[in-house]
Amino acid sequence: MIIFVLITLVLGQTETLVVKHPQELAKKVELEQIKFNIANFGYVPYGQRIAGVLEVASPFNFCFANQNKSNNFNSDYSNVKVLLVERGDCSFYIKTMNAQQQGYQMLIIVDNLEEEITGLNLVSLNETKEIEIPAIMISKKQGDIIKEYMEKNINEKVYIVVKFPEMKKTEKVNYQYWFSAMDISSYLFLEQFYPFHMEMKDQLEFIPHYSLDRCGMCKKQGYNKPTQQCLSGGRYCANDPDADGPLTGQDAVREIVKQLCIFKQDKLKWWKYVVKYSNLCLKDMQISKCSSEIMEQINIDSKEVQKCYQDSFKNKNDEIEDNELLSEQYQINLNYQAYYWPILYINDLKYKGSLTIPTKTYQFENGPQQLLDTSHFGPLQTICRSFDEQYLPNICKQRMIGYIDNGNWVEHSQDSNTWVVWIVVITIMILLMFCTIFLYKRMFRKETNEQIVQQVNINLAQYYALQEQKKI
């Protein structure tokens, strides 16, 4: 029995893992509802499902790519393989990369502790190699039940279906991004998504958010003393961006206020500013001069930005007085529990999976329309799937791995020109058909005419013969 990859829409359903076969395992009470947690790396097929045959790694920790001793391994992509491994001894990222290298289309990690898995943060620790398969985690109890059954029934294939969460469909898609104003790596998503945002800007609603800390000791002192890493007496703090260099946490927080003011002034210019700022200013940390030069280049009113900055602090004193922009930002971070970064929300659903394509770099000097030529840019795929079908932007129709057209699911691949080939083939077939019909008609007419002439001649000969007999 061959199980094919099923990547289809699953409307109105949340993430679930279901055992389809054998029934003896599927009917176990403990496996009726298998919750899972999605890793914050790899390609996550939101609104889709993956169905395939499950295998158990041996040894179970699967920390080396050549370790797996599975007898049933088949790298044929039409026969989908999902690998079950145990948490521990190496990172989630290494296990997933090993599974990908051996041809598996998904990794299921079994927790090694009895705990609630939905609150765990499965991160990749900024690894650079690109992962194109999803990784999920299930509880220790449910994972152990599946593993024990498969070890006792080694000749019995286990088939599963994993349904990933469906994005909320809207006419305009809202997305929010949390990042650090002084961390160059957290700008990479903005750089890579920038050209796509420009293509869909009228159909997107974007809100930037910034990482902020608070000084606990300063709170006890009533936020009434300046501190080197914070503004507003310790209400809003950031890490020192250059360690022993001249910059401090105060400079990082000031940059946050400046960027919030630019966003209020002109959202499109904010995009141009942050892309240039991350490429030009954060590499050598010449922040103040570099920032001013960029604002001048893209026609941002620096006086208006400075006025916005000053007005956002009570009594104009940024070291002690509270700030309305930062206060709002800090409260939003608490509401969303944004205690780390980067974070992406799409239509109020927290996105999990790789935020960037590690092997791609954005050359900002080449212009704003340098679109990434990849179908594994997860945020783009997920944002496109968040549109109501009648409002799907053209760029999504061109770049999505499949899309809805007039209520029907249409498969599409970014790297495929199959539609051109089919048009050419169909055109040639139509021409051949017309030529065949034309030739057939000519041959048929010729043969018919010859038969008619022959029959007429025979009839005339018989007629003349009959007339001669009458004369005799």
The reply to whether 9 falls in a domain is no
Instruction: Look up residue 200 and give its amino acid.
Output: M
Q: Quick check: 184 and 362 in contact, CB under 8 A?
A: no
Compute the 3-state secondary structure of the chain and give helix, strand, coil in percent, each to the nearest 5.
40, 15, 45
Residues 91, 110: Cα–Cα separation, whole Å? 13
Same domain as 196, residue 137: no
47: buried, middle or exposed (CB in 10 Å: 19+, 13-18, 0-12)?
A: buried
We report the CATH number of the domain holding residue 382 as 3.40.30.10
Both tokens of 271, joined, read 């995009």
The pLDDT of residue 22 = 92
Q: Which of 163, 194, 222 is the last residue of a domain?
A: 163
Q: Which of 118, 133, 163 is the last residue of a domain?
A: 163
The reply to whether 1 falls in a domain is no
Tell me the pTM.
0.71
Q: Which of 163, 181, 215 is the last residue of a domain?
A: 163
The reply to whether 399 falls in a domain is yes
Q: Is the peptide bond before 22 cis (omega within 30 degrees of 0)?
A: yes
Q: Which among 276, 270, 237, 271 has a CA at the least distance from the CA of 253?
A: 237
The pLDDT of residue 405 = 46
Q: What is the mean pLDDT of the chain?
A: 81
Same domain as 305, residue 206: yes
Same domain as 335, residue 265: yes
The parts of the chain modelled with pLDDT lower than 50 are 1-13, 69-78, 364-369, 403-409, 411-420
The pLDDT of residue 118 = 77
Domain count within the chain? 3
Size of the chain, expressed as the number of residues it contains: 472
The pLDDT of residue 267 = 95
The pLDDT of residue 369 = 42
Q: Quick check: 445 and 404 in contact, CB under 8 A?
A: no
CA angle 131, 135, 140 (to 5 degrees): 150
Q: Which helix (H) or strand (E) holds 61?
A: none
Residues 96, 331: Cα–Cα separation, whole Å? 36
Residues 143, 84: Cα–Cα separation, whole Å? 8
Instruction: Look up residue 148 and give its amino acid.
Output: E
**Interval 324-370: pLDDT, tens:** 999 999 999 999 888 888 999 999 988 988 888 875 555 544 444 45
Domain region containing 436: 417-472
